Amino acid sequence: MKCQKCDKLATFHITDLSGDQLLALHLCAECVKEYLQPDETPPPAAKVVSNVISKQLKLEQTTEELAELDHKECPVCGISFYEFRQGGRLGCPNDYVFFANELEPLLNNVHGSVEHVGKKPMRGPHDTQPQTELIKLRREMKDAVDREDYELASELRDRIKSVEGESQP
Amino acid sequence: MIFDEMACRCGEWLRGSGPESDIVMSSRIRLARNLAEYPFIRRCNDFDRVNIEASVRERLEQSGDFEDFTFIDVAELDNLDRQLLVERQLISRELSDAEGARAVAIDEAERISLMINEEDHLRLQVMKSGLDLDEAWQQINAVDNNVEQQLNYAFHPDLGYLTACPTNVGTGMRVSVMLHLPALVIAGQIDKVFNSLQKINLTVRGLYGEGSQAMGDFYQISNQVTLGKSEESLVEHVGSIVPSVISYERKARDVLIKDGNHDLFDQVSRAYGLLQNAQQISSEETMHLLSKVRMGINLGLIGDLEIPEVNKLFIQTQPAHLQKLRGGLPDSANRNRARASYLHRHLKRPKFGEDPAESN
């Protein structure tokens, strides 16, 4: 009998019970290795992040502390810590400041460092924290429009215009 | 249309030239950047995405530094054109499959691509044929400086460039070298090499990056750490390891040849024969066989075919390229037949005694 994956002689005859149906397989010595130990591709970065955080949290926090931390929300973009640790992606630049304590062990774990030593922008501010104000204002304006509070929305629009004017490169 | 012309050309990373190009396919560096005034992509609403795309595009088009770039609205493209760009490695699968406003700017030589609204607002990428990391870094650094003149990057005094995923923060830089390592695979040494690379903080991925399987014995080696090291030292770190991987692959090839490995000769000849004569063939099998043929050429086992020709077949037999070149072919059974006839036309050599030159 020939191997189902290549043309060599099938020397392994397997019945796989793991799926919904019985699966009969006839494989050669090489293909069986691949079947039993599929290539391990590294998990995507976001997965790495959420795994490291979960591990780290289990070590350090009680259940109550964890529940409280999960509810913590960034005032700028509104992402909760729970959403971040589930998805592995942050919501805005301000999260690095707002969740600084929670991120530090993660950064140390992934990079072995918490300090950037590379290139800096040649022009403009080396700390763009003030610009995150715009993210917050835009979000508030959208909320105001959704609530049909057009007076507040137009006030916010003017403030956004003026902040935008200051931060133009 | 630009895409039809594109499909006929090889593009930078399969040009098959540059240092160590028998083993190193390409060198690539990408930088992740975000605009300070917007939330990261996952917290963007449709309106934010449209604004980011429009403002980046407007600023870059006005600046004069990006005159020979073509801006492509990825959201407007059909599946086939998006897939074509993925196959050419000009956009990522993530950008192709995402929803909402997104774009890419590509330079004329297809060496530089600037993705807008990928995982980060901006992903700047430079690709070079062969092993050429220093040059790649010079180029991407210059592009980054030009972009930075026009936009406010999110930057933190201690943490550097801020990115959506904390695994990219700091330099936002990923340095990758794509290697063709068939002999190490045959010799069963590839896992050993990967394990030792992982110990020194380098990651190994398949041909199309994160989460992709190794196809046709192509592997990408790249840095894992982005924070706490300068860009130059990251380039140096990856650049210093690649030559030893190359020398392992060369040693493995030498041993295979010296031992007069009949299995190897047989595999190369069979691969070449199948590619020349198959009546229908999938793109995975084509990759797998072309990889063997490519190695056979480098080992001097195949004399009537050149590396650039094989590289061209690698790209042009991929599904979207084949559909562009042949027109139509939406279903894979037809495509497999068209792929076989395409390979047949490009690889069929006159049989002994049939050489038109000889019959004269």
C-alpha dist (Å) from residue A102 to A55, A105, B114, B319: 12, 7, 32, 45
**Total of domains in chain B:** 2
**Total of domains in chain A:** 3
Residues B77-130: pLDDT tens digits?
Answer: 999 999 999 999 999 999 999 999 999 999 998 999 999 999 999 999 999 989
Question: Which chain B residues are closer than 8 Å to A77 by Cβ?
Answer: 39-40, 43
Kindly state the tokens that stand for B9: 């050309």
Give the closest-approach CA distance of A3 to chain B in angstroms. 16
Give the closest-approach CA distance of A63 to chain B in angstroms. 25
Question: Which chain A residues are closer than 8 Å to B156 by Cβ?
Answer: 93, 96-97, 116, 127-129
Tell me if A119 is assigned to some domain: no
CA distance A76 to A98: 9
Residues B240 and B269 in one domain: no
Residues B146-177: pLDDT tens digits?
Answer: 999 999 999 999 999 999 999 999 999 999 99
Question: Which chain B residues are closer than 8 Å to A146 by Cβ?
Answer: none
Which residue, of B253, B273, B305, is where some domain finishes?
A: B253
Which residue, of B253, B282, B315, is where some domain finishes?
A: B253
Residues B198-252: pLDDT tens digits?
Answer: 888 898 887 665 545 557 788 999 999 999 999 999 999 999 999 999 999 999 9
Domain region containing A94: 63-111
The shortest CB-CB distance from B151 to any of A96, A115, A169 is to A169
Quote ipTM for the complex: 0.87
Give the closest-approach CA distance of B79 to chain A in angstroms. 24
Residues B130 and B109 in one domain: yes
Residues B187 and B319 in one domain: no
Residues B86 and B180 in one domain: yes
* Contact status of B196 with chain A (Cβ, < 8 Å): no
C-alpha dist (Å) from residue B344 to A77, B285, B309, B324, B335: 57, 15, 13, 18, 14
Chain A residue closest in CA terms to B234: A118
Phi and psi at A84, nearest 5°, equal -65, -50
Domain region containing B274: 260-359
Tell me if A157 is assigned to some domain: yes
Whole-model pTM over 0.80:
yes
Question: Which chain B residues are closer than 8 Å to A139 by Cβ?
Answer: 39
CB contact under 8 A, B166 and A103: yes
* Contact status of B156 with chain A (Cβ, < 8 Å): yes
Packing angle, helices B79-87 and B319-326, rounded to 10:
120
* Contact status of B27 with chain A (Cβ, < 8 Å): no
Which residue, of B216, B237, B253, is where some domain finishes?
A: B253
